[in-house]
Structure 1
Amino acid sequence: MLDWENVFATRSKRMRASEIRELLKLLERPDIISFAGGIPDPALFPHDEFQAAYKDILGGPEANAALQYSISEGYKPLRTWLVGELAKIGIPCTEDNVFITSGSQQALDYLGKLFLSPGDTALVTAPTYLGALQAFNAYEPNYDTLALKGNRTPQSYAQTAQKAGGQVKFAYLSADFSNPTGETVDRAGREKLLAHADELDIPVIEDAAYQYLRYNGDAIPPILALDIARNGGDIEKTRTIYCGSFSKTLAPGLRVGYVVASKTVIRKLVLMKQAADLHSSTINQIAIQHVAAHGFDAQVAKLHSVYKHRRDRMLEALAKYMPEGVHWTKPEGGMFVWVTLPEGMDGASLLAASIDSEKVAFVPGKAFFADGTGANTLRLSYSCANDEMIDEGIKRLGRLIRTHTKSAAA
């Protein structure tokens, strides 16, 4: 019998199952109050709009094109619509600067493949998006912590990378309502990042999956917008690669995302797609364009109303039920609250106890740290939880943390 492990490439050893994907199985258990899945509420999907869109597409002149092979760059009317939307947030570009992917997760995989050789270093925040680590890990990089506060210098990043046997290839971050913390990088932090990237001469990968989910506070220009502005309005002179998605606003199951960057980068990504899957689903791209063009703003407004309410309820419940020594973020948008437990507590152990005794699920924070730290942290998602679930679930979780805190002190 073939020993499969013996013939797998060495890179496969760095591939790990997603803790979040595994935890999503708990959503099927009716006895569990889950704050684990960072997924949109399916009740908020524009069901009627998509039903009408697919009916129109398959019953109209686009039917054959929708079911046929298409160009690797992506459905042009969708890219044209995106150009108009991007201009509203300070990103002037053309259709040739926009590339459609099968979800923004595919974009991260392509970018890892494009930039990383084994032993190179990727700069990531601590914590960072788990899916990005999974995407990059296959290309065997090292990681260094991207610190936008403090005295870390570009030279120190370069020296650390050289000692590890490679060079710094890019900085990756989610600047708005990041997964997992819900936090936002202020304008000064974005400008500092661009300055450091200039010194290191590396690209910046901006993950904008939650860009449209701002519930309060003033919007901050995307990093790519700042980069374009400082380069005289010319996207071709920029070093920022912007990754967007329709998963959090319209429907994740359709797997439609996009990359916005200079044409030089886009051309390379197109070649990768031709080799990987030829193009993203034609009919799904057309459906996304139909629905977005006729009601994107209204859909986003609906999400704001519901998610803002749930975020507020979760912050109120945390303030009401959490014991002293527990801290949490207060996000202005997105889907997550990040909780820091007292030193010495372990989020993974707490989860096991929580599932067993309190029937509450969350994501332990350690998985979001490239260096394996962060054991005393956890991520809570409020996107799919109603008022009763939030109040009761946080009450139970607070009770459990209080018990564990007392046990640790004894």
Structure 2
Amino acid sequence: MQWTDVLATRSTRMKASEIRELLKLLDQPDIISFAGGIPDPALFPADAFAAAFATAMSGSTAATALQYSVSEGYRPLRDWIAGCMADLGIPCDAENILITSGSQQGLDYLGKLMISPGDTVMVTWPTYLGALGAFNAYEPRYVRLDPMANTSPEAVKAEAAAAGSTVKFAYLTADFSNPTGETIPVAARHALLDQAEALGIAIVEDAAYQSLRFDGTPVPPILALEIERTGSIEAARTIYCGSFSKTLAPGLRVGWICAAKEVISRLVLLKQAADLHSSTLSQIATEIVAREMFDDHVAKLKATYSGRRDRMLAALEREMPAGVRWTRPEGGMFIWLTLPEGMDGADLLAKSLASERVAFVPGGAFHADGSNRNTLRLSYSCASDAQIDEGIARLGRLLRR
């Protein structure tokens, strides 16, 4: 059987995730890994979830937990999320919320909903690798989104038209982005809303890290700023993607999309066709734990991760040779390094694994065109102070060589 003869054209755009492949290195005990942008499992609220799952499986609740359920998601969880959205300046109700199997599924659904082959999608340069993986299956073309540059909407539209394409949406992580750790300022968020309105496109706001602010002044979500303009979420073009993966536990696979009901109703149809609904048992347990301890648990995460960020920034100051630059995030899990021109992050990784046993993610993978290869992403979320000191010292030694 020649499988290539029966595969869809979109299959040629599906590639193995460099990050998922690098996660396999975590099983090698002599590797110091700054590669996986994953939560520290030592911080998971395991006891709270053990009790929550026991509660979910007791009495009449067990029948609900183990039965088919509505595609929109478990109503008490959606109500709790709607309350949290209101606290962020996004008044809405449960009908504005769709529970997804992690925010990654939400990105896949949005790509399926909006992208036809050849359509133009605006993404930051660099951008979240998982978003590119989700969107690639629907065969878009990408153009650079730079919220700071105030790019002319007419120029974007004309460039797409010249390629026989239509601009559909802009995608970005506005807070502590993966991979750079940077946050988009308020003025740039307003400029993006202006540009999206002029283009007549949607905005997909990936808020996976929004709860993990360590310091600095909180910035309203793009959706909150738009609701201030329009008066209602039902008039908003911004689609907000949230997740419990970075706050409670990624293995639960519980995320959500918050948007106008017109958008949610269409996404529900995709959910029905794809997997009917997300795990009800996981949703019930998540709702129990979130109501009991979400704020206190996130405060614990921020205290731990902020200390590791500070440790890594100090180590970079101490160990990096001249010509290396890096971001200074106010939250999240990542620091982005820019190496001198002519260096290649992928080549550096191969040398690092061979000689220094330090892992990171090369930056070219985060660019839709594979450019800017003299960059790399470091994650501090799972590294101890000793690992940070030793790993950055080894990386600095390699760079000096």
TM-score, L = length of structure 1: 0.97
1:2-401 alignment runs, 5 A limit: 2-232=1-231, 234-401=232-399
Write out per-residue CA displacement over residues 245-266 of structure 1, whole angstroms, 9 at most, x where no aligned residue. 0000001001000000000000
RMSD between aligned residues = 0.6
* Conserved 8 A contact 2:174-2:206: yes
Partner SS for 2:355: helix
String of CA shifts for 1:32-78, please: whole Å, max 9, x gaps. Answer: 00000010000000000000001111123200110000000000000
| 1:201-241 superposed Cα distances (whole Å, 9 cap, x missing partner) | 10000000001000000100000000111112x11000000
For the residue of structure 2 that corresponds to 1:228, the secondary structure is helix
Counterpart Cα distance in 2 of 1:308 and 1:69:
41
3-state SS of paired residue (1:295): helix
How far residue 151 of structure 1 moved from its aligned partner, in angstroms, is 4.7
Q: 2:150–2:191: 8 Å Cα contact kept in structure 1?
A: no
Quote the Cα distance in structure 2 between the aligned partners of 1:150 and 1:171: 14
- Rounded to whole Å, the distance in 2 between the matches of 1:148 and 1:100 is 29
User: Counterpart of 1:95 in structure 2: which amino acid?
Assistant: A
Code of the aligned partner of 2:30: D
Alpha-carbon distance in structure 1 between the residues aligned to 2:202 and 2:123: 13
* Deviation (angstroms), 1:147: 1.4
Distance in 2, Cα, partners of 1:125 & 1:41: 27
Once the two structures are TM-superposed, the CA of residue 150 in structure 1 deviates from its matched residue by 2.7
SS at match of 2:257: strand
Write the deviation string for residues 172-201 of structure 1: whole angstroms up to 9, x where unpaired. 000000000000000001000000000001
Letter in 1 for 2:190: E
Q: What is the rounded CA distance, in whole Å, between the counterparts of 1:284 and 1:190 in structure 2?
A: 34
Tell me, yes or no, if the aligned pair for 2:73 and 2:277 is still in contact at 8 Å: yes
Q: Which residue of 2 aligns with 1:406?
A: none
Given that 1:322 and 1:398 are in contact with CA atoms closer than 8 Å, whether structure 2 keeps it comes out as: yes
CA distance in 2, matches of 1:241, 1:56: 33
> Secondary structure, in 3 states, of the residue corresponding to 1:206?
strand
Q: Which runs of 4+ in 1 moved over 4 A?
A: none
Q: Which segments of 5 or more consecutive residues in structure 1 lack a partner in the other structure?
A: 404-410
SS at match of 2:121: strand
SS of 2:335's partner is strand
- Alpha-carbon separation, structure 1, partners of 2:31 and 2:162: 47
Is the contact made by 1:19 and 1:367 (CA closer than 8 Å) also made in structure 2? yes
Q: Distance in 2 between matches of 1:287 and 1:278?
A: 19
Give the TM-score normalised by the residue count of structure 2.
0.99
Q: Do the aligned residues in 2 keep the contact of 1:142 with 1:164 (CA within 8 Å)?
A: no
Query: Partner letter of residue 265 of structure 1?
Result: V
User: Which amino acid in 2 is paired with 1:332?
Assistant: E
